[in-house]
């Protein structure tokens, strides 16, 4: 396996790799969801490069940067099983040199809502590190999961607006058998919490049923029902459970006129010490 640790090594690795390149950005602690991104990348490109970097600029001081799972050796073994042989694993000082003068990248229209409201530092950190990684690797494609829906929309907008010569590919959310969206943070859940966590998926299914089968057009009624399902599963708090426009992520006055393009149900809620997010696109040919 070709492992690059420095920017120079990563660039040399990229330019010695023939054909179209897909980049899969990760923070490690890989699971089947990440591996599905690799498989999606192979549908579009000749070769896939994965980077593993726990990015400090997207964590607030009270969040889990220090405790975020770091399992590099296990990650590399998993990547080998899906045929990845090119990985970029930079040190913190390589990406953020001490003499660096920070340059912020802001997608203002999407940054301050939903995740941006509760984690105002997050997307600025994501866009900053991704801009660095895209410039280093210069892929033809980059693959993101729909599970982090707002991130997907922000990255797509950034790549388009900054005229970056690549295409953002969305990959479907991977789920456990009971519907829980796969996430590296799921390891934080206790056994009891893990059983209750399915409440997020059930709330999304309830929203879809009310809209597609019940004909409900009032987003507030659907949102209230979603919260009832989450609360019935004893979540500690709900940051949001909402129906939004699929691209602008703005609130809707009425669902029905938007269904031809789809709407998206988004949830963020706390179970014990773990914050979980999930979403589901409803309408517009969604599964």
Kindly report, residue by residue over 78-136, the tens digit of the pLDDT: 999 999 999 999 999 999 998 777 888 888 889 999 999 999 889 999 999 999 999 99
Ranges for all domains in the chain classified under CATH 3.30.1300.10: 184-279
Ranges for all domains in the chain classified under CATH 3.40.50.620: 2-171
Dihedral sign computed on CA atoms, order 81, 13, 145, 52:
positive
Annotated catalytic residues are: 34
166 near 159, Cβ under 8 Å? yes
Euclidean distance between CA atoms 61 and 5, whole angstroms: 26
Kindly report, residue by residue over 135-184, the tens digit of the pLDDT: 999 999 999 999 999 999 999 999 999 999 999 999 999 999 999 999 99
**CATH node for 2-171:** 3.40.50.620
Q: What Å distances lie between residue 180 and 177, 191, 241, 276, CA to CA?
A: 7, 14, 16, 10
* Burial status of residue 106 (CB atoms within 10 A of its CB: 0-12, 13-18, 19 or more): middle
DSSP string, 124-179: HHHHHHHHHHHHHH--SEEEEETTSHHHHHHHHHHHHHTT-SSEEEEEPPPB-TTS
Q: What is 184-279's CATH topology? A: 3.30.1300
Kindly report, residue by residue over 183-219, the tens digit of the pLDDT: 999 999 999 999 999 999 999 999 999 999 999 999 9
The SS3 of residue 33 is helix
Give pLDDT, residue 285: 64
Dihedral sign computed on CA atoms, order 141, 147, 148, 154:
positive
């Amino acid at each position: 396996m070709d492992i690059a640790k420095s920017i120079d090594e990563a660039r040399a690795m990229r330019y010695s790799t023939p054909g179209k390149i897909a980049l899969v950005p990760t923070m490690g602690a890989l699971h089947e969801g990440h591996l599905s991104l690799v498989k999606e990348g192979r549908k579009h490109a000749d070769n896939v490069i994965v980077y593993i970097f726990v990015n400090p600029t997207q964590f607030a001081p009270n969040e889990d940067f220090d405790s975020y799972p770091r399992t590099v050796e296990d990650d590399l073994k998993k990547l080998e099983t899906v045929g990845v042989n090119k990985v970029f694993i930079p040190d913190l000082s390589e990406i953020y040199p001490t003499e660096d003068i920070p340059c912020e990248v802001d997608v203002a229209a999407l940054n301050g809502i939903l995740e941006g409201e509760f984690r105002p530092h997050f997307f600025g950190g994501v866009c900053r590190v991704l801009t660095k990684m895209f410039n280093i690797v210069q892929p033809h494609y980059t693959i993101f999961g729909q599970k982090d829906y707002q991130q997907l929309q922000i990255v797509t907008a950034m790549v388009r607006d900054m005229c970056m010569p690549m295409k953002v590919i969305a990959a479907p959310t991977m789920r456990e058998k009971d519907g829980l969206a796969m996430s590296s943070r799921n390891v934080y859940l206790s056994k009891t919490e893990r059983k209750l966590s399915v409440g997020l998926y059930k709330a999304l299914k309830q929203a879809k049923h009310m809209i597609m089968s019940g004909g409900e057009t009032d987003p507030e009624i659907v949102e209230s029902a979603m919260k009832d399902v989450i609360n019935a599963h004893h979540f500690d708090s709900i940051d949001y459970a909402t129906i939004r426009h699929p691209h602008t992520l703005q609130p809707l006055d009425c669902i029905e006129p938007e269904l031809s393009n789809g709407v998206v149900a988004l949830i963020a809620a706390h179970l014990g010490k773990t914050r979980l997010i999930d979403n589901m696109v409803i309408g517009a040919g969604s599964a």
